Structure 1
Amino acid sequence: MIRFALRCNEAGHAFEGWFRSNEDFDAQAARDLLSCPVCGSAKVEKALMRPAVAHRAEREAPVAPVAAHGNGAPPEFVEMVRKMQDLARKVRAESDYVGRGFAAEARRIHYGETEERRIYGEASGDEVRSLLDEGITALPLPPLPEDAN
């Protein structure tokens, strides 16, 4: 996936978009499938951006989770994490757990092969990217403190 800096030609709104390739962006732009998220204008073009080149240490460093309790975290950050956890609890309470079969079940629902319903489960990063490439919405849920018990 490639992240492009984009801008609206009508009002100059700046935003970004993710595409499989430069050709994917060009194809979507040619079919007028792109629009400004602020004003809805279909006159969207790539903006000047600097390349994202990772330094060796950045490529090798693992991604560290952020703790949102104590340890000097700003109150608004702690509140944001609490809200995300509340949302995860709501999704779990109102959805069917499908385990490691999440990607396959999401596809079956998307393509009308089984009943439409809310699901959650487990999927690898590659599985989620593949779902997104097919136009299937999939979002990660934050871990909950009770998961550790």
Structure 2
Amino acid sequence: MIVFDLKCAHAHVFEAWFGSSADYDDQRARGLLSCPVCGDADIAKAVMAPNVAAKGNRAPATPAPATPDPKALMAALAQVQAKLLEGSQWVGMSFADKARAMHLGEEPAAPIHGQTSLDEARALIEDGVPVAPLPLPVVPPEQRN
């Protein structure tokens, strides 16, 4: 089996497996190939990097990267999130109302964060309100020690 990167006339690149290079040529000539994204039948081989295996008696050129410590990654993520929220105001459960009011120009724009339901978050996104979920939960100010 051989794998080729193929490309349609609309620049969609996809992978396909063939029994041989001749099988690819035969299927292309008979019009059996089409783009899985747009259905275009104008298919050609895309430029691809060769997959050359290292000799068995050689050590890898670069050492394998160290496995990151999950606790350290979470701590770093929490630090970054805390830094980003420094200038942001906690608005609690009124987040959706405040974000929508700012988007509509009814309130001055300001960085805020808070809580909302998944349905309300989806509605905000559908209405074009620029919102994004935070990667980590935020402890409301009144619940902090």
Q: TM-score range by the shorter chain?
A: 0.3 to 0.5
Structure with the higher fraction of residues in helix conformation: 1
Normalised to the residue count of structure 1, the TM-score between the two structures is 0.46
Normalised to the residue count of structure 2, the TM-score between the two structures is 0.47
Q: Which has the larger radius of gyration?
A: 2
